[in-house]
Amino acid sequence: MENEPLIDDALKSELSALYRAQGRHYHNLAHIEAMLALAGDYRGLLGDPEAIEAAIWFHDAIYDSKAKDNEAQSAALAEKKLAGRANPSRLNRISAMIVATATHQVPPFEDAAATRDASLFLDMDLSILGAAPDAFDAYE
């Protein structure tokens, strides 16, 4: 269980299809790839890089511009798809990080490394706001 990757190629393909759906302007595969690149850049600072990768892949998986519970739905999908791949506490951390993208408030983890990971993850999600003007304009 613990030595197989959290996000394997089959899951990447399945999630990529969701991010390629019609009507996705920002919450698309380019956003995921940008976040994955940042996670790679900061890998040395992350306590659980694989959990961050999983949170990135799932955080916008469910997206309906009219819905108010996209993050909770995305977290539920992560819990379902990652069941058996991660222990319950790791799964709870991943889920909490995904839900936190609704408000960008860091979840109240007791573990300092998990708190730092969540902070970095949320910063990665908002990194477009500090991007070069042309990149930001494309996002807008």
Indicate the pTM of the whole model: 0.91
* pLDDT (tens digit per residue) in 7-42: 999 999 999 999 999 888 778 999 999 999 999 999
pLDDT at residue 3, as a whole number? 62
Sequence letter at residue 129: L
Statement: residue 135 has pLDDT above 60: yes
Statement: residue 97 has pLDDT above 70: yes
Distances (CA, A) of 58 to 30, 62, 97, 133, 135: 14, 8, 10, 27, 23
Q: What is the mean pLDDT of residues 120-132?
A: 89
pLDDT at residue 132, as a whole number? 80
Q: Where does the chain show beta strands of DSSP type E?
A: none
Pair 123, 132: CB distance under 8 Å: no
Statement: residue 106 has pLDDT above 60: yes
DSSP string, 85-98: TB-HHHHHHHHHHH
Assign 139 a pLDDT band (cuts: 50, 70, 90): low
Nearest to 95 by CA among 135, 59, 132, 53: 59
Q: What is the mean pLDDT of residues 48-76?
A: 96
Rounded Cα distance between 52 and 131, Å, is: 21
Rounded Cα distance between 20 and 78, Å, is: 18
pLDDT at residue 70, as a whole number? 96
Q: Domain ranges for the chain, please list them.
A: 9-139
Statement: residue 114 has pLDDT above 90: yes
Rounded Cα distance between 75 and 97, Å, is: 8
Q: What is the mean pLDDT of residues 118-137?
A: 87
Rounded Cα distance between 95 and 11, Å, is: 17
Q: Quote the tokens at residue 68.
A: 């108010």
